[in-house]
């Protein structure tokens, strides 16, 4: 992912959170929800909670129906980096060879 795209995401998130009250929540979607084997599943997201009215100090965690990374403190750049890192990890896993042992 290019630095321009990263910076654009940080700027967009910072703008969204600016002047929001502490406790305001938003999410950044990593992977959309869907259906597998006839069962619905929710999206994989970065949950973000504003800690100050500047919108720059946040708590964030990666979560889904099956995962909760635990809350971390940081700024909007940290939350965007968590999003980017997880998307890159998923892309790498999808590109790994899968062996069929049947």
For residue 84, being part of any structural domain is answered with yes
- Whether 20 is in a domain gets the answer yes
Query: What pLDDT shows up at residue 95?
Result: 82
Look at residue 26 in the predicted model and tell me its pLDDT: 96
Has residue 97 been placed in a domain?
A: no
Q: What does pTM read for this prediction?
A: 0.83
Residue 48 lies in a domain: yes
pLDDT at 80: 96
- Domain around 39: 3-92
Three-state SS letters, the chain: CCHHHHHHHHHHHHHHHCCCCCCCEEEEEEECCEEECCEEECCEEEEEEECCCCCCEEEEEEECCCCECCCEEEEHHHHHHHHHHHHHHHHHHHHCCCCCCC
Q: Is residue 70 part of a domain?
A: yes
Structural domain contains residue 30: yes
pLDDT at site 98: 55
Tokens of 25: 């929540």
Dist. CA 55–CA 25, nearest whole Å: 11
* Model pLDDT, residue 3: 72
Q: Which residues in the chain land under pLDDT 70?
A: 1-2, 97-102
- Per-residue pLDDT at 87: 93
State the total domains in the chain: 1
Q: How far apart are CA 3 and CA 37, in angstroms?
A: 38
Examine residue 102 and state whether it is found in any structural domain, yes or no.
no
What pLDDT is attached to residue 23? 96
Whether residue 80 is contained in a domain is answered as yes
């Amino acid at each position: 992912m290019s630095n321009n795209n990263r910076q654009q995401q940080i700027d967009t998130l910072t703008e969204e959170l600016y002047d929001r009250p502490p406790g305001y929540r938003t999410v950044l979607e990593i992977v959309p929800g869907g259906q597998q084997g006839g069962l619905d599943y929710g999206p994989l997201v970065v949950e973000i909670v504003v800690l100050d009215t500047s919108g720059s100090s946040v708590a964030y965690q990666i979560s889904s129906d099956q995962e909760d990374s635990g809350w971390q403190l940081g700024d909007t750049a940290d939350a965007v980096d968590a999003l980017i890192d997880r998307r890159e990890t998923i892309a790498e896993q999808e590109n790994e060879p899968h062996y069929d042992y049947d």
